Structure 1
């Protein structure tokens, strides 16, 4: 973990609410890790904001985010050349896959960290299947970039305005079939639970990236704890945000 002052190279509005931010400088992050971003030099907002790493190279760091409150509204106003305070990389990312095939499941802005993961999997020669779900076509971003990295790409929207109509979790069992795949997912909690249940039924390894309200980002404040399947609690920022699905979801007796 390191604190850096990083310059904005590009800041692109992709939809009404979703932006992609590219900063100068690599941070050596692994897929699934996150950073805390401060807008400085003022105290507004007081707390840094956590963002998953969308992409990371030796010379750049990219974040994909949705405007949801005061902090992200202020961030969306930042222009090229502005300097941001970045702490990271933080948290535990996705583990190395042990299988030839990887199935990635994204829900909404949960697609953000899966791009970097998909890049790394392709570099390792893995066979990647990508399921991208959203409520409506207006929430789908960077479709061509995701599609270009996947051997199979499936687009699903709840209202049917793009791709197949329905839920991404409805299609998942059909895609998996009898495949000996490893599953990686990020999105709303209800989606993650459904993905985890499908993985459990098919006895496939599954890893989920959780979202939680964070303050410190290093596990000290305990503001992001979640209950786990064994009755204990884990800190999303320090013990995660990526967990084996069976750690956080329990099914059956």
Structure 2
């Protein structure tokens, strides 16, 4: 959907929500809605490149669609390098190229319970997932994070669905998170629910391993680094269940757990 749909839109607002670690802001970027004729689905992503970027920043940057409506498109990102540092400098009225919506998306069953597992910035696609789901009472979010909750758009989700979170503040918290993720995946496997997940690779490996062990129906959104977003650069490959390379930007970013091999 929309692989060649590149449009220049204006910045509405850029707001730092908090710090994920010293010097690494978590930022909410709000843009004009690109006018996608066929809409968008939670789990899809966009590539963004400001028109004013110099030639040393040739490639756009990929971001999950956090949310969108008829007037705006919201992106959530963490400042981790040159590109995201420049995005933080954007001002109201600046123009950025947006191409998308790109990639696959999360399923939305209405007659089954859905578990949303989010690690850190993996919370982003679940904001739109909750807002666009017709049966939010069937949804539960488990959120593992390091910064305080107020640094994320957590309240918008917590006001609509069942939520649970664990904050990682010391090394032993990691094992607590792993144990709880495994418990939840088994619970949803036993009641034939859907498990959805987004977050850093160690977090996704835990979900993937548990889903295979307990036979859960699980969908994972990979956060591989991308340059083009349309399958031309081969920079975002992952291994499928047969051990072959597959492009995350065109065959993902959302995959069935049974389609992937995430072993170390």
Shared fold per TM-score greater than 0.5: yes
1:140, 1:147 → 2: CA distance?
A: 14
- Deviation string 1:56-97 (CA, Å, 9 cap, x unpaired) is 112211100001110110000101121111111111111333
- Deviation string 1:188-235 (CA, Å, 9 cap, x unpaired) is 111111112222233221000001111111011111111122111110
Moved more, 203-212 or 140-149: 140-149
| Match status 1:235 vs 2:247 | yes
Query: 1:126-205, aligned counterparts within 5 Å?
Result: 127-137=138-148, 140-150=151-161, 152-159=162-169, 165-166=173-174, 167-175=176-184, 177=187, 178-205=190-217
Find the counterpart in structure 1 of residue 11 from structure 2. 8
Q: CA RMSD in A?
A: 2.2
2:63 is paired with a residue whose SS is strand
Structure 1 gap segments, 5+ residues each: none
Query: 1:1-253, aligned counterparts within 5 Å?
Result: 1=2, 2-16=5-19, 17-25=25-33, 26-27=35-36, 28-44=39-55, 45-97=57-109, 99-121=111-133, 123-124=134-135, 127-137=138-148, 140-150=151-161, 152-159=162-169, 165-166=173-174, 167-175=176-184, 177=187, 178-249=190-261
**Residue-pair matches, total:** 246
Moved over 6 A (4+): none
Provide the TM-score with structure 2 as the length reference.
0.86
Find the counterpart in structure 1 of residue 22 from structure 2. none
1:15 is paired with a residue whose SS is strand
* Deviation, structure 1 residue 9: 1.4
2:242 is paired with a residue whose SS is coil
1:132 is paired with a residue whose SS is strand
2:199, 2:111 → 1: CA distance?
A: 23
